[in-house]
């Protein structure tokens, strides 16, 4: 018999508004027995059925909703439907139709909490970060094979967030063999490596695809500084867009080696216009300012400074520092393209941080573009937490 998760009085409101998370404080009791990842029936304190969820006793998010239909069965057929629906939604968007490098499943926003799946050619990389997703690994893998026809599914469930669910990290092939090296993908005519075995996230930052295209459109005739460049995808895009020079900085030597390989994959780009520097970005920006260097476009795409809202205050200082340094390096009329991927820093807070940096830098700046993740990373209206990536293009002077 399915266990019942009984909510505290009044805590059914968020579920009725289709928010997928149930925190520990909203749970009155678990009636019956359930192991981590098991499906439980969610009911109000008055016994009203609200849906079905995955039980996660080790996490502050005690349960994640699979379905808001209390009568829907959570079984292999459920995951076949949900995965097929997610793939079909992307295929229905003209800009994604036929794409071979894109996100196929974006967790809660696709009705599959804790499940991320990215496609790179014939390889799907699967990341499972919740107890419920862990339990249904085989069903999700099979559903991905059916929906995509891909020959290989490789697991990258090595995110630290799994520890919050009481789960150990896992990586390795789920279907087919592990790739022998990075998978080469095509993005807007550029060839780029996706290291699905050892790269960041699932091997590549697919979420920035459209923002890289925008950077390309802004780059003609500009001297560009790309900070936290990782494997150089922004750098190659601005070169393709006609930048006169691009200096790229990252603290990771392996990332810079990958960036050089990516440049070599695109011989039509003038390699002499690109230089790669291994350094701490904060220190490198100070050194560039001391040397009197100036740029027409500065790109700031730092790692996650605030995984949660509890760390937002400390992260805000880091974001302000990096944007202050970037703004001070711009020529009049120059552009700052700046991002935050921290879920704990909302879009309005990020705008205020950048505005404060502009005041301290002594520059007038205007927002010309508000940026977000590409459309294969949708955000469910009932789940604003899914909007993790935000960005601004600001013109100074």
Residue positions annotated with a catalytic role: 341
Is the distance from CB of 79 to CB of 136 less than 8 angstroms? yes
CA–CA gap between residue 14 and residue 23 (Å, rounded):
11
Sign of CA dihedral 276, 281, 287, 292: positive
Residue ranges of alpha helices (H) inside the chain are: 12-16, 76-91, 131-135, 137-148, 209-218, 233-240, 253-264, 281-290, 312-328, 347-361
Taking alpha carbons only, the member of 328, 316, 340 closest to residue 365 is 328
Sign of CA dihedral 144, 150, 155, 159: negative
CA–CA gap between residue 185 and residue 53 (Å, rounded):
36
* Residue 297 tokens, joined: 């476009």
Report which secondary-structure segment, H or E, holds 120.
strand 115-120
Q: How far is CA 165 from CA 52, 107, 178, in A?
A: 18, 15, 26
CA–CA gap between residue 345 and residue 241 (Å, rounded):
31
Taking alpha carbons only, the member of 304, 295, 275 closest to residue 335 is 295
DSSP state of 154: E
Residue 311 sits at φ, ψ, to 5 deg, of -105, 10
DSSP state of 244: S
Partner residues linked to 227 by β-bridges? 249, 300
Q: How far is CA 163 from CA 60, 217, 397, in A?
A: 12, 41, 47
CA–CA gap between residue 350 and residue 131 (Å, rounded):
32
Is the distance from CB of 224 to CB of 273 less than 8 angstroms? no
């Amino acid at each position: 018999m399915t266990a019942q998760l009984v909510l505290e009085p009044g805590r059914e409101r968020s579920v009725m508004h289709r928010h997928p998370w149930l925190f520990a404080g909203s749970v009155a009791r678990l009636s019956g027995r359930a192991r981590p990842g098991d499906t439980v029936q969610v009911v109000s304190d008055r016994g009203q059925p609200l849906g079905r969820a995955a039980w996660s006793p080790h996490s502050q998010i005690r349960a994640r909703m699979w379905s808001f239909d209390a009568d829907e069965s959570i079984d292999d057929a459920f995951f076949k439907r949900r995965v097929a629906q997610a793939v079909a939604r992307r295929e229905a968007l003209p800009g994604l139709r036929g794409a071979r490098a894109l996100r196929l499943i974006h967790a809660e926003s696709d009705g599959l909490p804790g499940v991320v799946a990215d496609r790179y050619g014939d390889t799907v990389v699967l990341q499972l970060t919740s107890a419920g997703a862990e339990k249904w690994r085989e069903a999700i893998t099979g559903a991905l094979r059916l929906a995509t026809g891909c020959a290989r599914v490789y697991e990258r469930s090595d995110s630290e967030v799994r520890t919050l669910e009481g789960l150990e990290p896992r990586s390795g092939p789920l279907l087919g063999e592990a790739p022998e090296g990075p998978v080469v993908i095509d993005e807007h005519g550029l060839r780029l490596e996706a290291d699905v075995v050892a790269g960041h996230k699932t091997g590549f930052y697919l979420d920035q695809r459209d923002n890289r295209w925008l950077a390309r459109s802004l780059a003609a005739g500009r001297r560009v500084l790309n900070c936290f460049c990782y494997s150089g995808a922004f750098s190659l895009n601005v070169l393709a867009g006609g930048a006169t020079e691009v200096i790229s900085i990252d603290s990771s030597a392996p990332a810079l080696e990958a960036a050089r390989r990516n440049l070599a994959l695109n011989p039509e780009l003038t390699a002499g216009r690109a230089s790669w520097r291994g350094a701490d970005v904060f220190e490198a920006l100070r050194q560039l300012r001391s040397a009197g260097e100036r740029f027409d476009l500065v790109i700031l795409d730092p790692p996650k400074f605030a995984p949660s809202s509890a760390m937002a205050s400390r992260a805000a200082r880091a974001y302000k520092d990096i944007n202050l340094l970037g703004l001070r390096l711009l020529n009049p009329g120059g552009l700052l393209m700046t991002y935050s991927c921290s879920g704990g820093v909302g879009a309005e807070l990020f705008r205020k941080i950048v505005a404060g940096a502009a005041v301290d830098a002594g520059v007038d700046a205007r927002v010309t573009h508000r940026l977000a993740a590409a459309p294969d990373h949708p955000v469910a209206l009932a789940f604003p937490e899914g909007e993790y990536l935000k960005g601004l293009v600001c013109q100074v002077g």
